[in-house]
Structure 1
């Protein structure tokens, strides 16, 4: 039997190649090739190990006729066409936790650099000046650090900051009181954080909810003289507004490792005397690079030689025997988890996954993992079936699995329920023809719908003429409707509408829909 063949196409620790070889793979290390050269070569390999330089495009994947797995040594996979990889049957793996300590330490370094203006003082001193009177710093001891996001990296930052005798407060809608006590931090709302914090450090993924979370209005209403650090994701801060606040003194200083557009060769922030930046160095330490390289080699070799799946972004952890039977159930479970995650708001403390009928006879762990992967994706851009349970536990989310022996209206049914401040919210789905996922209930209202692509969720009063109004609105914006899916509690009462759309509705469309007569709620969904 031929050994699996792996190509390492980006520079990484040399021990990664050794691990591949020790575990039964042949490996070539060929870095710095052009896309054309990689395209010509990739067809002979079973595995491709990359960092951020190699771009695994649609064209590269089409040429990769033998490729079975792509391993990204690091977190971000923006350089991989994951959807096409999935279509080609190629597993995409990453190493989601290998950079946590390194990124947290970089944030702490930025805080200290801001406090003492170290980069500016260094530049002028090396320029032959002795500008001692121009650099009056501040102590971090006794200051309040506000964390926007208190997940894995945020928790590490909190511990390091407490070691510096800082008081730590945090805004994170999904942080439980128990987890906050465990971390030794105070949980507050965002406005309170911005009015109390001396330093703010962001540790949240970039989602529709977090984009420009530090908006112009929030920056203007923050504590005067606040200092802001972002080592998480570009796009979390309105950079033009931040520059204005730096110029006015509303923000005493800012330190960014990430930008809305990268590589950031230009930025409105450049040139501000109270601004410091680094070129996305959060994961750039020797230890982190070694850790992620070794981890990705271990994961890929295990998959290629033994069939084990770890930290896969597009494939569940499954044995070869279970996969065919469980695959449609996990597709349904992930969609239900994603749906309830997109619709339920506030501090979610409990999630329940119920299975009945044929679903109750299957291995429930992959189904639960699929639900959590879909549910947590709104809050983390590196979530997968392997790390979703860890992230849920880290946030204090109580997960329960319930298997019913009863026979209901459907041959098989999966129900996902969450506890919110407004009460229990649940969605349920089944399989049509034992393979096609279908939503059959949403928040107690019966409805039949496919969950796919771009959708619009509307809660409205059940009154004549509403369908015509929403249809006319979509037509006015040249948005084609694929399907109408309707449900209601009672005649004339609360109704729900799920529209399948050929394109994503923009903010203007959402705003107009919210203004239609009888509308209670509008939410854009994506699957």
Structure 2
């Protein structure tokens, strides 16, 4: 029987043509995504589901998706899909990470022009019969300083176009290397320097816990007086109330927004202002972009449904069905090792080296490296997946190296990940035991044996009496239950580490108190 796919949101007809040409039946019901009950009632009839932002794929819907093999998101964000539930049911989730890049970058530039020359307000005034030429005094973009927060694919395009306008471009991006910045023609700076120097600031970073409210009240106050702010990324990257207050005071001269904290945005403290330009999330709304993402997702889903090939999946690596059973536990290990290093790294990464020893060296290490890089980048770039991770690493000028060799130690298979930044080198090693579960066996040259857990604490300390008791007491007083406590040290009285699995996330203030303990050098809360 031919595979069937359901298209539950409006989508370019180009996608339907691709499915039909490949012998896949496509049922186009573009209003179904708005009705969860109706969608749940029919989802069991389909092998694939194509969505945009209008359909929310919940665990309840997935529970009734008995035939569903793949969900295709025609776009980048997959926050309207319950990834955990999809993964648990073996449903591949794909997106199209590159289809909207040019369109979104161009929209940011269009908003910057509109803001600089007050075009929307001037248009409204003129069409109302008022000739207020002296009211709408604009500013030139030429020779102004543009601050780009997030210099990935879209941010790089914006920077390139802005350089063509003879603007000076500053870039803040922890993953942007000096070499990549030089190639782009931008000046890599820290956030405080960008805030202080930029005449215009444009946001192009994914929304993560580290970037949420990156333009907070405090950071907006640090901006250059008269700054203009553009946001075509995610609404929660800035504090809308703080921005409104800064507009009221005159500290911020204007803002242009395509995204909002709550969407659809039917009300906002930023509405009704002549110096604010607003559009209803139009960053990807061009004919070319809609056709691009439709063609891409239809091609990817067809490949998977007909041949088993996986591309641009956010919850599964690019490996064939034959490879999956042997690779799966090592993919999990590689991704967790990357995540471990990524959660401990707060500077730009220059080099990543993956060393594969023993049996694992004979497997598809490219897929393992992609998984490791995805884990490394995800703490800052949550939308990265094992397919897009290598390209994103290259964009940022990261050098990724692989080494394979025969087993040299106690483990049949061993993966070592080493991350080099401008300040230090950090390494972590892991293996998979016979139970199929990944484990950490070495951190910074110190032998340790720890299973990964959803919530963990990494502690680096001096090996002195009393530390374990003090640290455990601190957790106990805070009501944090310890599941496991793994210890390692290089020499007696030397450097030591602890990897502690706990049953719940740690409050921020508890981390600060732990860092204040005697002998403690570093404390990090980790989540896997």
Query: TM-score, structure 1 length as denominator?
Result: 0.96
- Inter-partner Cα distance in structure 1 for 2:270 and 2:481: 40
- C-alpha contact 1:94 1:311 (8 A) present in aligned 2: yes
The question of 1:295 aligning with 2:296 is answered: yes
Q: Secondary structure in 2 aligned to 1:440?
A: strand
Instruction: Show CA shifts across 1:400-449 (max 9, x none).
Output: 11011243121110000011223321000011116110011112222211
Q: Is the 8 A contact 1:356 1:404 kept in 2?
A: yes
Cα 1:257/1:509, change in 2 over 3 Å: farther
- In the alignment, which residue of structure 1 is the partner of 2:143? 142
Partner of 2:500: 499
- Report the equivalent of 2:379: 378
- What is residue 325 of structure 2 aligned with on the other side? 324
| Aligned mates of 2:143, 2:218 — CA distance in 1 | 27
Would you say 1:126 and 2:127 are equivalent positions? yes
| Aligned match of 2:87 | 86
What residue number does 2:66 align with?
A: 65
Per the TM alignment, residue 123 of structure 1 is displaced from its structure 2 partner at its CA by: 2.7
Aligned to 1:11: 10
Is the CA contact (8 Å cut-off) linking 1:150 and 1:170 kept in structure 2?
yes
Checking the alignment, whether the CA contact within 8 Å between 1:376 and 1:388 is kept in structure 2 is: yes
2:438 match: secondary structure: strand
Query: Equivalent residue for 2:28?
Result: 29
Matched, 1:488 2:503: no
CA distance in 2, matches of 1:266, 1:507: 33
Q: Shift of the alpha carbon at 1:237?
A: 1.8
Matched residue of 1:359: which SS? helix
| Structural RMSD (CA) | 1.7
Partner of 2:455: 454
Quick check: 2:350–2:422 contact (8 Å CA) kept in 1? Answer: no
Instruction: Tell me how far 1:76 sits from its aligned partner.
Output: 0.5
Q: 1:272: how far off?
A: 4.1
For 2:23 and 2:276, locate their aligned partners in 1 and report how far apart those are by CA, in whole Å.
50
Aligned partner of 1:200 in structure 2 is 201
Quote the Cα distance in structure 1 between the aligned partners of 2:460 and 2:264.
Answer: 42
Within 1, Cα distance between the matches of 2:482 and 2:329?
26
- Give the superposition deviation at 1:399: 0.8
In the aligned structure 2, how far is the partner of 1:113 from the partner of 1:376? 34
Give the Cα separation in 2 of the matches to 1:427 and 1:257. Answer: 41
- CA separation in 2, counterparts of 1:53 and 1:245? 33
Looking at structure 2, the residues matched to 488 and 187 of structure 1 have their Cα atoms a distance apart, in angstroms, of 38
Distance 1:507 1:265 in 2: 34
* Matches for 1:143-182 after TM superposition, within 5 Å: 143-182=144-183
1:362, 1:165 → 2: CA distance?
49
In 2, the alpha carbon distance for the partners of 1:483 and 1:260 equals 39
Q: What is the CA distance between 1:117 and its match in structure 2?
A: 1.2
Pair 485,123 (structure 1): closer, same or farther in 2 beyond 3 Å: farther
Quickly say closer, same or farther: Cα 1:324–1:463, change in 2 above 3 A: same
In structure 1, what is the Cα distance between the partners aligned to 2:479 and 2:164?
56
Native 8 Å contact 2:210 2:380 kept in 1: no
Change (3 A) 1:255 1:91: same
Please state whether the residue corresponding to 1:435 is helix, strand or coil. Answer: coil
Where do 5+ consecutive residues of structure 2 fail to align?
A: none
Supply the distance in 1 between the matched residues of 2:434 and 2:316 (Cα, whole angstroms): 22
Higher mean Cα deviation, 441-450 or 235-244? 235-244
1:492–1:271 distance in 2 versus 1, CA, 3 Å: farther
Q: Please give the secondary structure, in 2, of the residue aligned with 1:319.
A: coil
Find the aligned partners of 1:85 and 1:367 in 2 and give their Cα distance.
Answer: 22
Contact conserved, 2:359 with 2:407, CA < 8 A, in 1? no
Q: Distance in 1 between matches of 2:331 and 2:324?
A: 10
Q: Mean Cα displacement is larger for which, 497-506 or 312-321?
A: 497-506
**For 1:319 and 1:381, how far apart are their aligned partners in 2?**
25
Shift of 1:220: 1.7
Partners of 1:23 and 1:514 lie apart in 2 by: 58
> Contact 2:407–2:413 (CA<8 Å) still a contact in 1?
no
Unaligned runs of 5+ in 1: none
**Which deviates further from its counterpart, 32-41 or 61-70?**
32-41
After superposition, the C-alpha distances for 1:489-527 in whole angstroms (9 at most, x for unaligned) are: 333333222222322223222223223333322222111
